[in-house]
Structure 1
Amino acid sequence: MHQTTDILRLFEESAIAAGRVILDIYRAGAKVRIKGDKSPVTEADEAAERLILEALARDLPDVPVVAEEEVAAGRIPDVSGGRFILVDPLDGTREFIGGHDDFTVNIALIENGTPTLGVVHAPALSTLYLGGAGKAEKLVIDELDRVTARYPIAVRQKHASPSALVSRSHNCDATDAYIKKAEILERKAVGSSLKFCLVAEGVADIYPRFSPTMEWDTAAGDAVLRAAGGMVATEDGAPLTYGKRLMGLRPFENPAFIATGRPQERG
């Protein structure tokens, strides 16, 4: 399986199946542990990741997979070939634990540092976003995990009153300062990679992020946003890249970035 449309379909099906596992645990109540990096993890993270990894190993056995819980366990594949997959089985674990519905399943294909295919599934919102293979779409998922509708999405190019999105759980002073300097008056706190997707569908205009993130947190949403006409850039205006080993940062850690639906206005 190497056709981009086939890979995107595999990502879509795997994310929906993982979302079902997550929802079942969400409704039953999840047990929480604290990892070595002080971040929370639940059995939903681990069960969803196992399901996704099994599907990827079956259908894309030659493509390395970097997955959040695998990395936490010290299992990091060689991605020097330039083509690999990033998986965050449950982004927004704090939202999940807190009873908020804006947590997501994220799967992305990276090619030469660029996220070329990605899916972001918000199971509690019955919504899946995908980007790549020449399209950006929003899907509606029913209670039987069937796709009942597909809508093309695109960023809005100009808005009289631009709006910004910030992290509900990880906002910081630097992000607030950026929004103030940009004179953006409207802002909304949202959890997980859903922020990229809201910019991608034109609901918001910008998502600045100055608190730490890892590549698996951003890659799928980045792919969706790029496919919808937007961009995720570092503070110097360069596109955010993947497979990084940056001085002063952990492997796969991102620098600060700005996700925007108006890339022509960066800088």
Structure 2
Amino acid sequence: MDMLLQIVFSGIALGMIYAVIAFGYQLTFSTSGTLNFGQGEALAVGALIGLSTVSHIGNYWLMIPIVLLAGALYGIGVERLSVRPALKIKSQGWIMATIAFGIIMKNVAENIWGKDDLKFPSPVPEAPLQLFGANILPMEIIVIVGALVLMFAVEFFNRKSIYGKAIVATAADRDAASLMGINTGQVITFSYAISCAAAAFAGVLVAPLTLTGASMGASLGLKAFAVAIIGGLTSGLGVIVGGLILGLAETFTGFYVSTGYKDVPGLVLLLVVLAVKPAGLFGKTAIKKV
């Protein structure tokens, strides 16, 4: 029972990381119908900037606002250079453009920080805590709390602020929002800023539990995309549920079967969801009236 609780808690922590990254996919898709396929690189760059910042100021918590700002600026760069030109001519070129932007940033990161993985200092003791007999890492608790705080903060912003309501309106109907005087171009830019800020934040959450490097975001970004598809690209709740499903599936498979097979259940679930409910578990199929 103790080991079961430990596996469940680790799965939830991993799932919340996936959910934060997938939340960024969901946000940009809702407002613009586009995705940043370099989202994993935004996570890696955020973690590396966080590592350098912590090394200089010596405080993990003061580093977080700097990383959020850096992530937002990264997102603005992605939208301006990779997405906006394609949207102007109604092209699907943003797919390859966002991939190319991510590859460029990965190479830049390797030249600045090197190709070797680096140890990210933990802001809390690394000794596990005893919770109902299970060993729980303090950083895993921070991951879960931090991920929930970020997503609830963005949701509160969307519901209570004027600019947040503009995001909601653009997500509901971009053409109608434009006719109502909303600058949908700025809204899309802002959604990319929030998306990459969330990915950068996920980077500094997961980095103390793993190693930090320019390649750390590749797998996480891909799995988060699977989470977004499983939960539904139009549902904020869906990405949370999808993240928890994938995180728990990986930890249970890794412990009870083999770590070599831990990626299999999530991918199988992805294929099943695409076959049975292509819009995702909580997604809604768009109906266009002609």
TM-score where L is the length of structure 2 = 0.26
- Greater strand fraction, Structure 1 or Structure 2: 1
TM-score where L is the length of structure 1 = 0.28
Structure possessing the higher relative contact order (Cα contacts under 8 Å, 6 or more residues apart): 2
- Give the structure with higher Rg (CA): 2
